[in-house]
Structure 1
Amino acid sequence: MSSTTPRPTNATSGASARPIFVRILRLGGILALAIAVVGGVAGYIVDAERGLVSALIGTVMAIVFTGLTAASILIANRFSGREFFTAFFFAIVMGAWIVKFVIFLVLVFLLRDQEWINPLVLFLCIIAGVLGSLIVDVLVVARTRLGYVSDIVLPGE
C-alpha cells in the first residue's frame, strides 16, 4: 500500500474555469485591436479626427465592459472552496455588472452632446465590440473541454 496525499481538485482549488476566462480575455484583446484599427480607419475616412477618436472611445468602452465580466468571474473564483463561495461569487459578479451599468450611463450622458464625438461611429464600435465579445465567448466555451466531475478520484491515482 502506498500512502499518498490527496491532490487538490478543481472543485477545491477554484482553478477549473481559469484557462477559459484567460483565453477569453486574451482573444478579447485581439478583438479590441482589430476593432480599433478597422473602426479607427473607417471613422477617420468618415469624419477625420472626430471619427477616429469616436471609434477608439467606442472600442475602449466595449472591451472594458466585456472584459470586466470575465475579470470579475476570475476574481470571484478565488473564493472557491470557502464557506460562502456562492454569496461571494454573485456579489462580485453582480457588483461588477452594476458598476459597468453606472459607468456606461455616466459616459453616455457625458459624451452625448460633445462636439468632438461622432455618435454613429461611437455606437457602431460599441456594437462591434459587444457582438464580437459574445462571439469570442461562445467560440471559447464551445471549444473548451471542462470536466463536470471535479472531485472524483480514479482508481490508481
Structure 2
Amino acid sequence: MSSTPLLRASLLWGLGVGLVIAGVMALIGFFVAGGEGAASGALGALVGVIFPAFTALSILLGNRWYGHPQWLQIFFAVVLGGWLLKFVLVIIALLVLFQVDWLVRGIFALAVIVAAVASLAVDMVVLSRMRLSGASDVTLPTAESLRDQE
C-alpha cells in the first residue's frame, strides 16, 4: 500500500518527538514540583503521544488484508475497533491516573496537550512532505494492453 511508508514515518517521527517532549516536560515538572512533577510531565507526554499513534497502527494493521475479497470491511472494522479501543483506554487511563496521589495534574495536563499538538504537527509535516499520487495503487493501461482489447 502506498500509505504504509507515510504511516511508518509518522510513527517513527512521532516517537522521536514524543521522547523529546517527555524529557522536556519531565525537566519542567522537576523544576516546578520536584520528582512528582517530573514523573507527571513524562507520563503526560507519553499519554499524549501513545494514544494518537493508535490510529496509525490500526490503519497499518488494517492494510495487511489488502487484496482480500472483504478487505474494506476488515479494514474499517480494524480502524473503527482501534478508535473505540483507544477511546475506552484513554478514559480508563485518565480515571486511574487522576486517582494517583503523586500526580501533579497541571503538569500532567500540560504535557498531554503539548504532546498531542506535537503529534498532530508531526503528522501534518510528514503528510505534506510525502509524494503520493492523487490516485494511489493504480496501474494505468499500457499500449499493448489497449491493442489487445481491440
TM-score (structure 2 length as normaliser): 0.89
Structure 2 unmatched runs, 5+: 145-150
Count of paired positions: 143
One-letter code aligned to 1:65: F
Whichever structure has more helix as a proportion of its residues is 2
Q: Which moved more, 1:39-48 or 1:53-62?
A: 53-62
Give the CA RMSD over aligned residues.
1.6
One-letter code aligned to 2:79: V
User: Which whole-Å CA distance do the structure 1 matches of 2:71 and 2:25 have between them?
Assistant: 41
What does residue 5 of structure 1 align with? none
What does residue 65 of structure 2 align with? 79
User: Which whole-Å CA distance do the structure 2 matches of 1:41 and 1:138 have between them?
Assistant: 27
What does residue 100 of structure 2 align with? 114
The answer to whether 1:151 aligns with 2:145 is no
SS at match of 2:58: helix
One-letter code aligned to 1:150: D
One-letter code aligned to 1:151: V
User: Which whole-Å CA distance do the structure 2 matches of 1:59 and 1:156 have between them?
Assistant: 54
TM-superposed deviation, 1:149 = 4.4
The structure 2 residue matched to 1:45, chosen from 31, 46, 58, is: 31
User: Which whole-Å CA distance do the structure 2 matches of 1:99 and 1:37 have between them?
Assistant: 27
The answer to whether 1:65 aligns with 2:51 is yes
What does residue 148 of structure 2 align with? none
User: Which whole-Å CA distance do the structure 1 matches of 2:43 and 2:18 have between them?
Assistant: 11
User: Which whole-Å CA distance do the structure 2 matches of 1:122 and 1:154 have between them?
Assistant: 55
8 Å Cα contact 2:30-2:38 kept in structure 1: yes
TM-superposed deviation, 1:156 = 7.6
User: Which whole-Å CA distance do the structure 1 matches of 2:19 and 2:9 have between them?
Assistant: 15
SS at match of 1:79: coil
Identity of aligned residues (%): 31
- 1:99-125 Cα shifts (integer Å, max 9, x gaps): 111111111111213221000111111
One-letter code aligned to 1:121: I
Q: Detail structure 1 runs of 4+ shifted over 3 Å in the superposition.
A: 153-157
TM-superposed deviation, 1:141 = 0.9
